[in-house]
Structure 1
Amino acid sequence: MFKIKKETAVGIFVIMGLLAVVYMSVKLGNVQLFSDKYYVVKANFTDISGLKVNAPVQMYGVDIGFVSKIGLNQEKGVAEVSMMVLKEVELTDDAIAAIKTNGLIGDKYVKIVPGGLGEPVKPGDTLFDTQPAVDLEDLISKFAFGSV
Structure 2
Amino acid sequence: MKGRSLGEVAAGAVVLLVAVVFLVYAVTNSGRSSAGSGLVLTARFDRIDGLSPGADVRIAGVKVGSVTGQRIDPQTFLAVLTLNVDSSLKVPDDSSAEITSEGLLGGKYVALVPGGSERNLATGGEIKITQSAVSLESLLGKFIFSMTQGNNQANSGGQAVEAPR
Normalised-by-shorter TM-score class: 0.7 to 0.9
Q: Give yes or no for the alignment of 1:112 onto 2:112.
A: yes
How many pairs were matched up?
Answer: 144
Q: Give yes or no for the alignment of 1:9 onto 2:10.
A: yes
Aligned equivalents of 2:51, 2:100: Cα separation in 1:
9
Per the normalisation by structure 2, the TM-score is 0.74
Match in the other structure for 1:22: 23
Task: Give SS of 2:20's match.
Answer: helix
Per-residue deviation, 1:75: 2.4
Match in the other structure for 2:91: 91
Task: Give SS of 1:69's match.
Answer: strand
Runs (4+) of structure 1 exceeding 6 A deviation are none
Aligned equivalents of 2:104, 2:128: Cα separation in 1:
27
CA RMSD, 1 decimal: 2.6
Task: State percent identity of aligned pairs.
Answer: 31
Match in the other structure for 1:133: 133
Q: Compare the two structures and name the one with the higher helix fraction.
A: 2
Q: Compare the two structures and name the one with the higher strand fraction.
A: 1
Aligned equivalents of 2:102, 2:47: Cα separation in 1:
17
Aligned equivalents of 2:35, 2:77: Cα separation in 1:
35
Structure 1 unaligned blocks of 5 or more: none
Tell me if the contact between 2:44 and 2:130 (Cα under 8 Å) persists in the aligned partners.
yes
Tell me if the contact between 2:35 and 2:68 (Cα under 8 Å) persists in the aligned partners.
no
Structure 2 unaligned blocks of 5 or more: 151-165
Deviations 1:34-80 (A, max 9, x none): 984x2211111110001122211111222221112222222221111
Per-residue deviation, 1:84: 1.3
Aligned equivalents of 1:33, 1:90: Cα separation in 2:
19
Per the normalisation by structure 1, the TM-score is 0.81
Match in the other structure for 2:56: 56
Larger radius of gyration: 2
